[in-house]
Structure 1
Amino acid sequence: MISTHRVESFDGTSLAVHRLGTGRPVLLLHGLFSSAEVNWIKYGHAQTLANAGFSAIMPDLRVHGQSEKPQDPASYPSDVLVRDVRAVVDALGLDDFDLVGFSLGARTAARAVLDGLVPRRLVLAGMGLEGLAGWADRAAFFIDAIDRFSEIKHGDPAFYAVQFMKQMKIDRVAARLLLHSVDDTRTEELAQITMPTLVLCGDKDRDNGSPQALVDALPDARLATIPGTHMGCVVEPALGQEIARFLTD
């Protein structure tokens, strides 16, 4: 059974943290405009990990899911999501755990490791090198989608992003502030990520650039490919299966 409790972050923002399973802790960070429910629970990935002997710990990032969505710019300092992850780790007393992120969650996971977090193993899913080193361009796409939200029609490159925001009832004021808070990661910084790392992408997913280039930039990484596009691979059982396989190797 999934349990949910609250963690207070550095600025008092309340974060919802969901948990399934009783084994080794694995911290799972979802993607932009998504939630723990959509990324990890709905399609069975958390259950797959629980069945493999893990405790799936799944925060809703601020602005997402059941977590608070402050509209005060002061609530969005540089790398605010990294500070939220640290708050969750500290609140739960995690000192021996694995770390998994999808898309924005993968960026956050990489930034958290560079900030000093030391998971045993790391999974960067839905991510390529350009998604880490060229975040400004990626963020600009979503900020433009927010700014043109009411006028975007089918056929516009931002159409599906807007539809997903509508489906997830995203607070666009808070989301815009959050997008500005995410920092770029320079390619040369990736040499500091020394734990075994899995780069996991859909076979039709290049939304965040080249996964192979990311593997090549990391000291101890390997690539796994599953069926699907960036969003489509989330519904594939192979996503959870590949994560569980890597963490139990």
Structure 2
Amino acid sequence: MAIEARFFEARDGVQLAWRETGEGAPVVLLHGLFSSAEVNWIKFGTAERVAAEGFRVIMPDLRVHGSSAAPHDVGHFPPDVLVDDLEDLVAHLGLSDFDLGGFSLGARTSVRAVLAGMSPRRLILGGMGLAGLAGWKRRGEFFKRVIAEYESAKRGDDVWLSVQFMKTMKVDRIAAGHLLDSFTDTAPDALAALTMPVLVVCGDKDHDNGSAEELVAALADARLAMIPGTHMSSVTEPALGEAIARFLATA
């Protein structure tokens, strides 16, 4: 299912892309690091499954990813710049009552947006555990090594798969490095602000961002859906779309 990109201008003048499918109540889904709306949500049928439940599925390409611009000027990367971009997209589309979610970096960005004052009806956190929210700076250091070892990584190295994915996605390394520096951590006690219903959906072999069970326990109104897969493979599973669609249709 090919979906044409649309574009809007962020507050700093950077051109950002989004795609959407379906009609009905809006749900905004944010992809993971080095991925895109196409790979994370569209290619493996997740967006189509969610849209089938009567939702308008809105999927931005985050800054530096997919069809969005990848500026090299460090001034375009203040702390939590992805939250700024999400706020600008919501304003551009005139959304006032919507659901929000993401996978990995998209989940982290969704949490940061709520802490910044955004009030989605429900929240979806994919591929995320408690340690992943509190330790994004540490995760950022890993991805800085991915960039540094882009040309030298060998099969079997801990960065190998991420380097190959980054090459496949043609991610701009300079812009990606600046983006990593914009990430901020979320202290566990700050999660008290997440009072809406939350779905935590995670692969049964995905430990990249810590324990999904611990994240559920730290939230006021959360449920856990375990699906097959690792951090890299779980987004390819039909079970991801099924879990999100079921949550949005019943929660």
Match of 2:127 in 1: 126
One-letter amino acid of the structure 2 residue matched with residue 14 of structure 1: Q
Kept in 1, the 8 Å contact 2:194–2:219? The answer is yes
- Distance between the aligned counterparts of 2:47 and 2:220, measured in 1? 28
* TM-score normalised by the chain length of structure 2: 0.98
Kept in 2, the 8 Å contact 1:96–1:120? The answer is yes
**Structure 2 gap segments, 5+ residues each:** none
> Is 1:91 matched up with 2:92?
yes
One-letter amino acid of the structure 1 residue matched with residue 70 of structure 2: K
Kept in 2, the 8 Å contact 1:46–1:56? The answer is yes
- The equivalences for 1:188-203 within 5 A come to 188-203=189-204
C-alpha RMSD of matched pairs (Å): 0.8
**Structure 1 gap segments, 5+ residues each:** none
1:133-156 Cα shifts (integer Å, max 9, x gaps): 011111100001101211110010
- Distance between the aligned counterparts of 2:42 and 2:177, measured in 1? 26
Residue identity (%) = 59
> Is 1:158 matched up with 2:184?
no
- Distance between the aligned counterparts of 2:86 and 2:101, measured in 1? 12
* TM-score normalised by the chain length of structure 1: 0.99
Match of 1:224 in 2: 225
1:33-54 Cα shifts (integer Å, max 9, x gaps): 0000000000011111111100
> Is 1:167 matched up with 2:168?
yes
Kept in 2, the 8 Å contact 1:3–1:20? The answer is no
One-letter amino acid of the structure 2 residue matched with residue 87 of structure 1: D
Quote the offset at 1:2 in angstroms. 3.2
- Distance between the aligned counterparts of 2:28 and 2:105, measured in 1? 14
Alignment length, in residue pairs?
249
> Which secondary structure state, in structure 2, belongs to the residue aligned with residue 123 of structure 1?
strand
- Distance between the aligned counterparts of 1:7 and 1:113, measured in 2? 22
> Which secondary structure state, in structure 2, belongs to the residue aligned with residue 149 of structure 1?
coil
One-letter amino acid of the structure 1 residue matched with residue 160 of structure 2: F
1:202-247 Cα shifts (integer Å, max 9, x gaps): 0000100000111111111111100000111111001011001001
The list of structure 1 runs, each at least 4 consecutive aligned residues, that deviate by more than 3 angstroms after superposition, is: none
Kept in 1, the 8 Å contact 2:5–2:67? The answer is no
Cα distance change on mapping 1:150 and 1:2 into 2, 3 Å? closer
> Is 1:107 matched up with 2:117?
no
